[in-house]
Amino acid sequence: MTPNPPAVEMKNIVIAFPGVLANDHVNLTLQEGEIHALLGENGAGKSTLMNALAGLYKPVSGTIRVKGDLVNFNSPRDAISKGIGMVHQHFMLVPTQTVTENILLGLKEPRFAMSLKKYDQKITELQEKYGLFVNPSTKIWQLSVGEQQRVEILKTLYRGADILILDEPTAVLSPREIGELMETMRSMTEQGKSIIFITHKLGEVVDIADRVTVLRKGVVTAEGESMKGVTKKDLAHRMVGREVVFTIERESHDLGDIVMEMENVSAINNRGLPALRNVSLNVRRGEILGIAGVGGNGQSELAEVITGLRDCTGRITIQGEVINNYPPIQAINHGVSHIPEDRTAVGTAPSLSLTDNTIMKGYRDKPIGDGWRINFQVANEHTRKLKNKYNILAPSIQTPAGKLSGGNLQKLILAREINSEPIFMVAMQPTRGLDVGAIEDIWALLLEQRQNGSAILLISEELDELFSLSDRIAVISEGRIMGIVESENADIDQIGMMMTGMQQERE
């Protein structure tokens, strides 16, 4: 009979999957009108806990109270009826339908899709209230990722949710879109909504959360602490259980000859629009060239033209030999390795074993390849070695790659790509979506590669990463290189200006 029961009170939640205790007696209290960050490494059990709140999993034990009432959800429908809405990391939208159709999907009203116009009106009102602007009659596939996320949020709001769970909402957004999302979150809480915000980015927690709960390996290490006076370092410590070194030592050394050179490279994207316009770049032995830019400004295409996955005009050479406009095998044979942007859709084969995935680039060559045969004994041995060396956590080398967590999958890809002793490496968003511990490992690996004399093109949207690792940083905007600066004396404001499309000022 308390006057103001908390919006959500989860007590002693235990959720077990075969072989793992995903949540071990977890408590979480969400106060009304607050933004509550749920912080933890990949696989800490954040999404699992929230899926229980959204009615997707049933806890083995523990209680959930929503606005004071004890609840027992059997399906997401039950959770929605109690005002709980979850925006998943992977959007659940129908690409060929409009925004309005997606929002109305599965509802009792309207029973037939006849006149959706009047619903447009209702949706527009919601949009204005929370600043979630997106044209209701546009089809989903035409929207950017940020806009699609807005549709997902609108979907939950339309269903009357006043408790919102956002599962890593910033992972897919550009810095500008993140800013907009934060605005939206603030305006929603001002109007009485309560938000649980799952993330593993410390900066965001500090920026926006009122309170924070930290999970580590299924156990709560900080329960609903107020953000006042909490530092990034402190949170990182709770999350990984040790101090995280955020600045990584990059030894300076003399750069060698030019390894990769691009001259006047232009390419079009999948929609037939110009994606790269007269790009000229070069990378030297032992150098990391960073590419900074807001997502979707030609970075993907840049990586693709170098690795042979996309045709282009102009010339790309590796140690003087032309590699563009050939099948991907040409680049591979010339010592180009590639950490692709999308580790599940491009970088790995999900239902094949770790072994099958680690030999993807090397199966043609001795000793793994042996004429028509593949020597699987050698391949397994090789995989076992990589698994230990790169600390890839998996039950066995026969485990399908799709069962690995994001960080371990990325380590698998890195292990494979580094092990080929590349002359040149394209690393696209190598740490996207990873937790602090994994980021640190991957940074160290990239620097080690640099030290060994590889030339690396590092394409990233994280400025921290670019500043920590790169020797030079080139900024890309709308497919043009706006300028290249030495990272030693780079000015973050200047880079920000170039990212928004302003040319480098010439002294």
Partner 1 sequence: MAMRLRIEQRVNVPKWLPPTTSIGSVVVAFLLGGVIFKIVGGKPLQALKFFFQAVFGNWAVFSDTMVKATPLIIIGVACAIAFKMRLWNIGAEGQFYAGAFGASMVVLVPLIPLDSPKVLIIVLMMVMGMIFGGIWGFIPGYLRAKYKVNEIITTLMLNYIIINWNNFWIFDQWSDRGFQMTATFDRVAWLPRLTDYAKEIKALSGVTLHLGVVFGLVAAIIVWWIFRYSRWGYEIKLIGDNPNAARYAGINISKNIILVMTFSGALAGLAGMSEISGVVHRLQESISPGYGFTGIIVAWLAKLNPFAIIPVSVLFAGLIVAGREIQPAGMSFLLQGIILFMLISSDVLLRYRIMIINTEEELA
Neighbours of 78 (CB within 10 A): 14
Q: According to CB under 8 A, which one of 95, 350, 385, 391 is a site residue for partner 1?
A: 350
Amino acid at 217: K
CB of 197 to partner 1, least distance (A): 27
Q: How many amino acids of this chain bind partner 1 (CB under 8 A)?
A: 36
HEC per residue, 359-419: CCCCCCCCCCEECCEECHHHHHHHHHHHHHHCCCCCCCCCCEHHHCCHHHHHHHHHHHHHH
CB of 314 to partner 1, least distance (A): 22
How far apart CA 102 and CA 136 sit, in angstroms, is 10
Q: What share of the chain is helix, strand, coil (3-state, %, to 5)?
A: 35, 25, 40
Footprint (CB under 8 A) of partner 1, residues 17-46: 17-19
Q: How far is CA 381 from CA 191, 372, 393, in A?
A: 59, 19, 16
Q: Is 367 in the site for partner 1 (CB under 8 A)?
A: no
- Give the residues across from 152 on adjacent strands: none
Binding part of the chain for partner 1, among 172-180, 373-381, 432-440, 450-458 by CB under 8 A, reads 373-381
Amino acid at 452: N
219: which 2 tokens? 């156990």
Amino acid at 466: L
Footprint (CB under 8 A) of partner 1, residues 304-333: 307-309, 327-329, 331-333
Q: Is 338 in the site for partner 1 (CB under 8 A)?
A: yes
Q: Is 72 in the site for partner 1 (CB under 8 A)?
A: no
Q: Is 449 in the site for partner 1 (CB under 8 A)?
A: no
Which residues make Cβ contacts (< 8 Å) with residue 193, sequence separation at least 6? 33, 161, 162, 163, 164
Counting every residue written for the chain, the total comes to 507
Footprint (CB under 8 A) of partner 1, residues 386-425: 395, 403
Q: Is 76 in the site for partner 1 (CB under 8 A)?
A: no
Phi then psi for residue 366, to 5 deg, are -65, 150
- Token match 């900024």: residue? 475
Q: According to CB under 8 A, which one of 94, 105, 322, 349 is a site residue for partner 1?
A: 349
Q: DSSP labels for 245-265?
A: P-S---------SEEEEEEEE
Q: Is 347 in the site for partner 1 (CB under 8 A)?
A: yes
Nearer to partner 1, 321 or 488 (CB): 321
Closest CA to 433 of 344, 307, 354: 344
Q: Is 364 in the site for partner 1 (CB under 8 A)?
A: yes
DSSP strands (E only) in 54-132: 61-66, 69-71, 84-87
Binding part of the chain for partner 1, among 174-182, 241-249, 302-310, 470-478 by CB under 8 A, reads 302-310
Nearer to partner 1, 170 or 348 (CB): 348
CB of 361 to partner 1, least distance (A): 6
Q: According to CB under 8 A, which one of 144, 274, 376, 406 is a site residue for partner 1?
A: 376
Nearer to partner 1, 149 or 307 (CB): 307
Q: Is 114 in the site for partner 1 (CB under 8 A)?
A: no
Q: Is 365 in the site for partner 1 (CB under 8 A)?
A: no
Residues that bind partner 1 (CB under 8 A): 17-19, 60, 307-309, 327-329, 331-333, 338, 340, 345-352, 356, 359-361, 363-364, 369, 372-374, 376, 395, 403
